Amino acid sequence: MPSKKLINKLNEQIKHEFFSAHYYLAMAAFCTEKSLDGFANFFIAQAEEERFHAMKFFDFLTEIGETPVITGFDDPKRDFSSLEEVFQLSLEHEKLVTSLINDILEIAQEEKHHPTVSFLQWFVDEQVEEEDTMSQILDKIKMVGENSPGTLFLDGELGKRKFSAE
């Protein structure tokens, strides 16, 4: 049986995942304002993915006989100075989420709550991918600069992204 501490952390993660979705929508709005519809599409798909993650935590809690607790969160940042800043902040945010997942995993391991340990492994793997994706895009933006044909190429490439529940 999971401790109250572990259940609280799992519930907090629901909030963090929904916040992530809103944060990425704010980034999509910035990109839309700059007529970078491909980048906006990327962040809209990212927001859908974060909502999917939140619901995975929601469903897991119900599967182990616990009641999900939904709480609010602060408004996300919505004023950005550049595309580079957007991706720098998204990378930092993914690193934060990784640390939150790792904290929950450590508690589950200490408590020997194997269902939670197993459940969280998917998120550990997912966070490696998330950080890598944000880091690669950030590197490319730094390489091509923001006002170049390279930016338009990246915009076109990111416009192809579609969310797929995995």
Tens-place pLDDT, residues 115-141: 999 999 999 999 999 999 999 999 999
Q: Residues of the chain with pLDDT > 90: what percent?
A: 84
The answer on pLDDT for 25 being more than 70 is: yes
Q: Which residues contact 24 (CB under 8 A, 6 or more apart)?
A: 43, 44, 46, 47, 50, 90
CATH topology of domain 4-158: Ferritin (1.20.1260)
- The 10s digit of each residue's pLDDT in 63-106 is 999 999 999 999 999 999 999 999 999 999 999 999 999 999 99
Helix (H, G, I), strand (E, B) or coil at 41: helix
Mean pLDDT for the stretch of residues 44-64: 97
DSSP state of 148: S
Answer yes or no: are the C-beta atoms of 7 and 66 closer than 8 Å. Answer: yes
DSSP state of 47: H
Structure tokens at 75: 């408004």
The answer on pLDDT for 165 being more than 80 is: no
Q: How confident is the model at residue 160 (pLDDT cuts 50, 70, 90)?
A: confident
pLDDT of residue 107: 98
pLDDT of residue 119: 98
> Rounded CA gap, 72 and 94, in Å?
20
The answer on pLDDT for 37 being more than 90 is: yes
Q: Where are the domains of the chain?
A: 4-158
What is this structure's pTM? Answer: 0.92
Residue 75, number of CB atoms within 10 A of its CB? 9
Q: How confident is the model at residue 145 (pLDDT cuts 50, 70, 90)?
A: confident
Nearest to 49 by CA among 134, 114, 116, 115: 134
Give the CA distances from residue 144 to residues 104, 133, 141, in Å, rounded to whole numbers and listed in that order. 38, 17, 5
What is the number of alpha carbons within 13 Å of residue 48 lying toward its C-beta?
11
Nearest to 26 by CA among 96, 80, 84: 80
The answer on pLDDT for 148 being more than 80 is: no
Longest Cα separation, the chain: 56
